[in-house]
């Protein structure tokens, strides 16, 4: 939630840091869907498009069809 708030306020660096931390935690606890969700949100920040691609790869692996469709459009 902090990442979204920071992003909405135009504080992209702060938002990216929040998403990075969320990705680290979700990787540690082996929560791929949550990891991908954080990556997708991180990837919405200009200059971080690679994160969206990483999210898409994970969503494909876990079969998250709705999220795959959202990222492809």
Residue 54 binned pLDDT confidence (cut-offs 50, 70, 90): very high
Question: In the chain, what percentage of residues exceed pLDDT 70?
Answer: 100
**Tell me, what's the pLDDT at 69?**
97
Q: Is the confidence at residue 7, as pLDDT, over 90?
A: yes
Separation of first and last alpha carbons in the chain: 23
Query: Mean pLDDT, to the nearest integer, of 38-54?
Result: 96
The model scores a pTM over 0.85? yes
Between the CA of residue 42 and those of 31, 38, 70, what are the distances in Å?
17, 6, 15
């Amino acid at each position: 939630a902090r990442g979204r708030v920071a992003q909405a306020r135009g504080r992209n660096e702060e938002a990216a840091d929040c998403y990075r931390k969320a990705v680290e935690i979700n990787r540690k606890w082996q929560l791929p869907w949550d990891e991908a969700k954080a990556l997708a949100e991180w990837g919405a920040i200009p200059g971080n498009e690679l994160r969206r691609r990483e999210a898409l790869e994970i969503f494909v692996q876990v079969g998250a069809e709705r999220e795959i469709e959202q990222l492809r459009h």
